[in-house]
Amino acid sequence: MSITVHAPFAPPVTPGAATSLLDAYRLTTDRFLATPHRTLLGRGTSAEIPDGTGPLTHRVRDALDALRRPGAPAPVVVGSLPFAPDAPPALAVPDMVHWAPPLREDPLIALPVAPDGARPDWRVTEVPTPERYGETVAAAVERMRAGEFDKVVLARTLELTSAREPDLRAMLRRLAHRDPAGYTFAVPSGPDRTLIGASPELLVARQDGRLTANPLAGSAPRSTDLAEDVRRAVALLESPKDLHEHAVVVAAVREALAPYCSRLEVPERPTLVRTAAMWHLSTTVTGELTDPDTTALDLAAALHPTPAVCGTPTDVARAVIAESEPFDRGPYTGMVGWQDADGDGEWVVTIRCAEAEGRTLRLFAGAGVVAESAPEAETAETAAKFRTFLHAVGAAL
């Protein structure tokens, strides 16, 4: 297969260019990311961003500057960062980066995915159980009503195990074909581990001194019945609980980004975005940077974690998460994305994802819990969010 290397911000529209990168993805050696604006395939590793005590943004900048070559495209770092601030990054500068237009503009993405043979016979374990998760939500609601904190995002996992290793390349193709306008990714997340998923949420993007952020908070499951699907969308737009949850996140995004901007535009009311499984309240924030040296990762670090994946106040919500969740989130609710040596890039909130290791997949889903939350509704929301990945792996909850 012949793959053309394109510039990241002006890829020509060529039928098959984006899907060829999707089909060319190779496990363990490649890093794949498709966004609504471009498709990226990083091959090989020129340098890895080390763990260390200094600011990560400085380590990334130093690594990229060291690899600059006169007349060559700006080097790019690709990978993921975990939820925990003290956990090591999984970022690397590929030997070569191939760019293509977005998958949603490639007409070949509409073709059906070729069968991949027999899928694994999954054994599914819920951690915690739905009953225990509901009890945890109820306990958090009680503490919020007592005034301890305002919001916390509580997650649960599905641990899928099989007698044979899953076909991650086939899973990636199914995720991409299911929602080609989203953010689909597959990157190494550690030794013999792969982070794979399809997130609906852009944390922040930077291009030529301008930024875009798109916080999502407040969700409702889709319905296969058109009338019911529309009813759920309208109800979400009018839900006091979800509008409050969304407003908390947008306020935090505004506060985090304002110091970096000479202009920041934040719409007064959210709109709706949809995935194959969910409706989400969405606000698109745009701004112009005061300092041209501020990078996409600088902005992402200032935002992370937003109340959409952690809660508020942040320190209290982190403590509640540590007390309540019987697992390590790892890369879940961290960020995945890319940045070039000029500071441009896109960082996506790592949700609707799984971490693969050998014959095991661990899927993650969470729900924003506020004082008005009902345990049954939050448990159902996590189940709905699992569907994106369960569809891709051929399993059911």
With contact defined as beta carbons under 8 Å apart, do 51 and 62 qualify?
no
CB of 345 closer than 8 Å to CB of 295? yes
Write the DSSP assignment of 195-258 as a string of letters: EEEEE--EEEEEETTEEEE--EEEEEE--SSHHHHHHHHHHHHT-HHHHHHHHHHHHHHHHHHG
The answer to whether the CB of 378 falls within 8 A of the CB of 364 is no
Q: Would you say how long the chain is, in residues? A: 397
CA distance 159 to 156: 10
Question: Does 135 participate in catalysis according to the annotation?
Answer: no
The CA angle 170-214-348, to the nearest 5 degrees, is 40
Sheet strand arrangement including 90-93: 47-48, 90-93, 76-81, 335-340, 345-349, 202-207, 210-213, 285-289, 261-265
Segment holding 183, helix H or strand E: strand 183-190
Q: How many CA atoms lie within 13 A of 129 on its CB side?
A: 3
The three-point CA angle 225-230-233 to 5° equals 125
Peptide bond into 101 cis (omega under 30): no
Which one of 201, 245, 325, 381 is the catalytic residue? 201
CB neighbourhood size of 208 (10 A): 11
CB 342 within 8 A of CB 64: no
171: amino acid identity, one letter: M
Buried b (16+ CB within 10 A) or exposed e, 119-140: bbebeeebebebeebbebbbbb
Reply yes or no on whether 151 is catalytic.
Answer: yes
Cβ within 8 Å of residue 228, ≥6 positions away: none
Kindly tell me the sign of the dihedral angle through the C-alpha atoms of 250, 255, 256, 260. positive
Catalytic residue among 48, 105, 126, 151: 151
Residues noted as catalytic: 151, 201
